[in-house]
Amino acid sequence: MEITAQQLAAMVHGTVEGDGNVLINNYSKIEEATQGCLTFLANPKYTHYIYQTQASAVLVSNDFTPEHEITATLIRVEDPYKTLADLLNLVSSQMAPVKKGIEQPAFISQDVTVPDDAYVGAFAYIGKNVTLGKNVKIYPQAYIGDGVTLGDDVTIYPGVKIYHGCKVGNRCTVHAGTVIGSDGFGFAPKADGTYEKISQIGIVILEDDVEIGANTTIDRATMGATIIHRGVKLDNLIQVAHNVEIGENTVMAAQVGIAGSTKIGHNNMIGGQVGFAGHITVGDNNGIGAQSGIPNSVGSNQRLLGSPAINALDFARQNVYFKRLGQMSDDIHQLKKQLESIKTSK
C-alpha cells in the first residue's frame, strides 16, 4: 500500500517539511533505506545518516535542526521512535492473519469454556479448571496446566508451557518455548551430603500488558507468588527465580539472571547478561549496563556498570586506567632500574 508523506503526517499528527506528495510504500533503517521508504531518526549517533539517506521520508523530532541540506522529506513529530512503533504495530495488525476456532487434534478439558473468538492450535493441551479470556490465542503445542487463568487478548505462542495455577493478565504475550511456573530451585542440604527437594507450592502471576520473550523461564514461588508486574518486557533467554518480583514497566535484555527472592522496582532498564544475587532489592528508574553483576541491594536513579557494578562514570574512568596498566608497569620498571642505578653509583 502506498501513501503520501502528507497523508502519513496527518495520521501521526506531524508536520511535513519538503515534498508532501512523495510516496511511501515501505519501512527501513536510516542507513539502509531506499526510495519509497519511511525511516526515522531518534538516536543522535545516527544523525550523519540523514544527510545521505536515500529514504523518501524521515520521521524526526520537532526540535531537530539540520546542519546540512537534506534531500528526504521530513515529518516532524514529538517522538519519532514511538511514532514509528505505532505505525509498525498498525502494519503488523493489518498483515497478521486473524486466527479463530479450534484446530484438531487438540485436548481441551470438558469443564473449560472456550470463547467464540478464541483460537486453539493443533496439539495444544488445556487442562482442568482453566479460565480463558476473550480473544485468547493459544498456538500449536502449547501446554496450559490445570487451574491456569488467561486474561483477555492473551497470545500464547507455540511450545509455551504454563504450569498449574499460574495467572496471566490481559493483553500479555508469551513467545515460543517459554516456561512459566516450573519449580523454583529449592533444595535443603542433608548431613550425608545429599539434597532434599523443597516443595514449591506457590504460583507465577503476570499482570496486564506483560511481554515475555522466547525460551525465558519464570519459576513458581516456594510460597506465595513470583510476580511480574504490569507493563514489564522481558527479552529471550532470561531466568527469573522463585519469589522474584519485577516492578512495573521494567525492561530486560537477553540472558539476564535473577536469583531467588530478589525484588526489582519499576521503570528499570537492564542490559543483557546482567546477574542479580538473591534476596536483594533494586530501586526504581535505574539503568544497568550489559554484563553487570549486582551482588548487593541498589537504590534508585542510578547508572551502573561492571561486576561488581559501580557508578557508570567511575567504571569508565577505571577502564581508562586499566588500559594504561601496561605502560604504567613499564614506567615503574624503568623507575626501579633508575633507582638501582643511583644506589649503585653511590
The candidate with the shortest Cα–Cα distance to 18, out of 71, 79, 54, 80, is: 71
Quick one: 144 exposed, middle or buried, by C-beta within 10 A (0-12, 13-18, 19+)?
buried
Give the three cell numbers for residue 263: 525484588
The H-or-E segment that residue 162 falls in is strand 161-162
Does residue 222 contact residue 241 with C-beta atoms inside 8 Å?
A: no
Convert 147-183 to b/e letters by CB count within 10 Å (16 or more is b).
bbbbbbbbbbbbbbbbbbbbbbbbbbbbbbbbbbbbb
Does residue 164 contact residue 147 with C-beta atoms inside 8 Å?
A: yes
Query: What's the Cα-to-Cα distance from 107 to each of 14, 160, 322, rounded to whole Å?
Result: 49, 15, 60
**Active site (annotated) includes residue 175:** no
Rounded to whole angstroms, how far apart are CA atoms 153 and 218? 21
Catalytic residue among 13, 164, 242, 266: 242
The candidate with the shortest Cα–Cα distance to 237, out of 163, 178, 182, 155, is: 178
Q: Which residues carry out catalysis?
A: 242
